[in-house]
């Protein structure tokens, strides 16, 4: 049985990926910072009959991530699929008015956290000559939008890091996929606006957005493709969204 590790699995796209890959027959290693939310995901996985383990740590903490992976039983250490999903946006201020702490959190999570997990997991994939890394990027990585500045920059970095890793492992059978969602209704906007529910709800008014399940289906399609097929990059948008900045609301 293959094993998939999903970061940021406590909610949204990460939780959907954990449940979707479990249905595809994978054993799941679900990671996240919030132990209570992670327990809820584990219960859902158990109810579905999936084999699963939880690891509680913050991807920004390199040592905690290393120790968490080393705590896995030997039979769980062969990770076939790594879904680098942990990430967030904070604020919509102009770049010249942005908050230092928001910038540092986004950069440390979206870029450094992805690098931490890649560095810890991919070497063993390369040794085995097989594996799959799925990075959850964003349409925001293709072009900046108003107020997106630093968040867009971090997702542009995810694209570049995905492309670079794909080059690095081209001589192996390790595959790399960058999935770039558009507007997805999760707790993303609530986090971005520091818990302002009303402001977050306005993001999705007048349009039917994507769901975490929609993105999880794309991830499952990529990892279940034949071994000679590498889905390098997928841009997934709601029907009435044309780009990161063009959304038609009705």
Percentages (nearest 5) of helix, strand, coil residues in the chain: 45, 15, 35
Q: What is the pLDDT of residue 192?
A: 85
CA distance 106 to 90: 7
- Counting the structural domains of the chain, the total is 1
Q: What is the pLDDT of residue 61?
A: 98
> Residue 76 domain-assigned?
yes
> Residue 242 domain-assigned?
no
Q: Could you tell me the CATH number of the domain that includes residue 18?
A: 3.40.50.720
**How does pLDDT run across 47-79, given as a tens digit for each residue?**
999 999 999 999 999 999 999 999 999 999 999
Q: What is the pLDDT of residue 202?
A: 82
Six-digit token string for 231: 């889905």
Q: What is the pLDDT of residue 98?
A: 96
**How does pLDDT run across 226-239, given as a tens digit for each residue?**
999 999 999 999 99
- In this prediction the pTM is 0.95
Give the closest residue to 101 by CA, choosing from 148, 150, 65: 150
Q: What is the pLDDT of residue 119?
A: 98
> Residue 178 domain-assigned?
yes
> Would you please indicate which residues are annotated as catalytic (active-site) residues?
151
- Segments forming the whole domain that contains residue 64: 3-87+106-182+210-235
> Residue 216 domain-assigned?
yes
**How does pLDDT run across 116-158, given as a tens digit for each residue?**
999 999 999 999 999 999 999 999 999 999 999 999 999 999 9
> Residue 149 domain-assigned?
yes
Query: Reading across the β-sheet that carries 174-181, which strands appear in turn?
Result: 52-56, 27-32, 3-6, 81-84, 131-136, 174-181, 233-236
> Residue 197 domain-assigned?
no
> Residue 240 domain-assigned?
no
pLDDT above 80 (res 196): no
Could you tell me the pLDDT band of residue 41, with boundaries at 50, 70 and 90? very high
């Amino acid at each position: 049985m293959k094993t998939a590790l999903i970061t940021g699995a406590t909610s949204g796209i990460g939780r959907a990926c954990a449940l979707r890959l479990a249905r595809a027959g994978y054993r799941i290693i679900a990671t996240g910072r919030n132990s209570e939310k992670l327990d809820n995901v584990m219960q859902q996985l158990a109810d579905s009959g999936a084999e699963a383990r939880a690891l509680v740590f913050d991807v920004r903490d390199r040592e905690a991530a290393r120790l968490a992976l080393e705590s896995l039983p030997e039979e769980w250490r062969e990770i076939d699929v790594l879904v680098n999903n942990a990430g967030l946006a904070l604020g919509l201020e102009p770049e010249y008015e942005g908050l230092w702490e928001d910038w540092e959190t986004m950069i440390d999570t979206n870029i450094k956290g992805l690098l931490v997990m890649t560095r810890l997991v991919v070497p063993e994939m390369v040794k085995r000559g097989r594996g799959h890394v799925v990075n959850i990027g964003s349409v925001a990585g293709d072009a900046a939008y108003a107020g997106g500045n630093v968040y867009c920059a971090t997702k542009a970095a995810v694209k570049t890091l995905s492309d670079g890793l794909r080059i690095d492992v081209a001589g192996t059978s390790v595959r790399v996929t960058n999935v770039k969602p558009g507007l997805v209704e999760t707790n993303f906007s609530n986090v971005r606006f520091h818990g302002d529910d009303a402001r977050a709800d306005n993001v999705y008014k007048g349009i039917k957005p994507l769901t975490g399940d929609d993105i999880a289906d794309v991830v499952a399609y990529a990892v279940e493709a034949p071994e000679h097929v590498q889905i390098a990059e997928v841009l997934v948008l709601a029907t009435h969204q044309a780009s990161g900045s063009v959304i038609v609301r009705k």
